[in-house]
Amino acid sequence: MHIKQFQELIRKRYARRDLKKGTPATFMWFVEEVGELATILAEKDSTNREKQEEFADVFAWLCTLANINDVDIESACKKYTESQQQDYK
């Protein structure tokens, strides 16, 4: 699945609800998910499955934020794939 396809799946499932929440409230949900990811990453005994679930949640909420702000994440990520992009070390 491409990023664009996943973002569209999230749009179809959640757009109506998330548009009502708006950007500030949706951003707070996103931050909460980032916090949960941080907690899992800090735990020495967390499983790969737990990590995957939290990464997926963060990405889904990022897609939601992008959707309600009319941002195509796949297109936005081209700045990292274009040949002019400099590597930071």
For 70, phi and psi rounded to 5 degrees?
55, 45
Check residue 81 and give its pLDDT: 86
Distance CA(77)–CA(85), nearest Å, equals 11
| Cβ neighbours around 26 below 10 Å, total | 21
Lowest mean pLDDT among 16-30, 37-51, 72-86: 72-86
Q: What is the pLDDT of residues 49-80, one digit of tens each?
A: 999 999 999 999 999 999 999 999 999 999 99
pTM above 0.85, yes or no: yes
- Asked whether residue 84 carries a pLDDT value surpassing 80, the answer given is no
Of all residues in the chain, the percent with pLDDT exceeding 70 is 92
In the chain the domains, ranked by start, together with CATH numbers, are 22-69 (1.10.287.1080)
Check residue 66 and give its pLDDT: 97
Which DSSP string do the residues of 69-80 spell out, in sequence order?
TT--HHHHTHHH
